[in-house]
Amino acid sequence: MTRLPDTGHIRLEAQGPVLRVWLNRPELRNAMSAQMVREILATFAAIREDRGVRVVVLRGAGGTFCAGADLKNLAGATGTPPAGAGAAHELEQSNRRFGLMMETMDSAPQALIAAVEGYAMGGGFGLACVADITIATQDARFAMTEVTLGLVPAAISPFVVRRIGLTAARRFGVSGARLSGEQAREVGIAHLTVESAAALDAAVTDAINQILQCAPEAVAETKRLMLRAAGPAPMPELLDQAAESFARAVRGPEGREGTKAFVEKRKPAWVTRIE
């Protein structure tokens, strides 16, 4: 196997033709950090030409998949940047790097399995949508939570639309509504749901063994052809536009209020109800 990178925010476990990638910030429900994004990119770059690695399993340590972006870190980026500081551009670049990570995982020549339990929020929702096979526990929770924080589900939106179609994507994108694992299966985010963590382990093993019956170059070429057939819009251009939208949202009044409310553990100012 190709030498794997040293990592701190993900944990890598190589077992023959299978590489398990654990999102490894359990104390923060595996919230995505800039370091985690870099480490995932480095890992997939290392194995891209290695057909000895035939299956990648993505899972979250500590019983939850991924709670989305690390909003405590993001909150520090919501202030008005000093003139000429380039902070807004840095924020845009950070989101674009996340989009590159999504694109890299989506187009990896290996088969990618996502094993989802606990929360799959925001970016975690997106990660579930780029896996070739997504298996979830029935009590898992999925949501595109960005709009509830005054943000935009920028980098994940193209992948969500491609996964479940425009109508369903718009429904969850504009509402931030939560789905159970079973509901995620019904709309096409997950392919299979199971009752427990033990059943999730067994289902992942079954999926791995099914994939290992297939020729690795044939799998890689099949993925390449299917992704080309999925739509004419160039993904890099979409992700460039998404990163610009994200940066504007984070530094706008809603983004500042939403991330501040999250840190302060209160509801944002716009939250209300009708009876």
| 79 pLDDT above the threshold of 60 | no
Residues 32-38 have a mean pLDDT of 96
Residues 180-199 have a mean pLDDT of 98
What is the domain range of residue 47? 10-196+216-263
- Total domains present in the chain: 1
Any domain includes 207: no
Any domain includes 4: no
Mean pLDDT of the chain: 91
**pLDDT level of residue 94 (50, 70, 90 thresholds):** very high
Distance CA 145, CA 152 (A): 9
The structure tokens listed for 111 are 């088969």
User: In b/e form, how buried is each residue of 9-31, taking b as 16+ CB within 10 angstroms?
Assistant: bbebeeeebbbbbbbbbeebbbb
Any domain includes 235: yes
Look at residues 17, 44, 25, 47 and name the one whose alpha carbon lies nearest to residue 212: 17
| 87 pLDDT above the threshold of 60 | no
Give 57-77 pLDDT, tens digit per residue.
Answer: 999 999 999 999 988 776 555
Distance CA 70, CA 88 (A): 18
Give 101-113 pLDDT, tens digit per residue.
Answer: 999 999 999 999 9
Q: What pLDDT was estimated at residue 82?
A: 45
**Residues 6+ positions from 62 with CB-CB distance below 8 Å:** 26, 27, 29, 30
Which residues are bridge partners to 116 per DSSP?
136
Q: What pLDDT was estimated at residue 237?
A: 83
Read off φ and ψ for residue 271, nearest 5 degrees: -70, 125
Q: What is the DSSP letter of 122?
A: T
Q: How far is CA 98 from CA 28, 39, 66, 251, 253, in A?
A: 18, 11, 14, 18, 23
The structure tokens listed for 222 are 């099949």
Give 131-141 pLDDT, tens digit per residue.
Answer: 999 999 999 99
| 273 pLDDT above the threshold of 90 | no
**Which is it for strands 18-23 and 55-60: parallel, antiparallel or unpaired?**
parallel
Give 237-272 pLDDT, tens digit per residue.
Answer: 878 888 888 888 888 898 889 889 988 999 999 887
Is the distance from CB of 4 to CB of 43 less than 8 angstroms? yes
Any domain includes 144: yes
**pLDDT level of residue 199 (50, 70, 90 thresholds):** very high
Any domain includes 204: no
Any domain includes 166: yes
| 196 pLDDT above the threshold of 90 | yes
Any domain includes 274: no
Report the CATH number at residue 138. 3.90.226.10
| 275 pLDDT above the threshold of 70 | no
Any domain includes 202: no
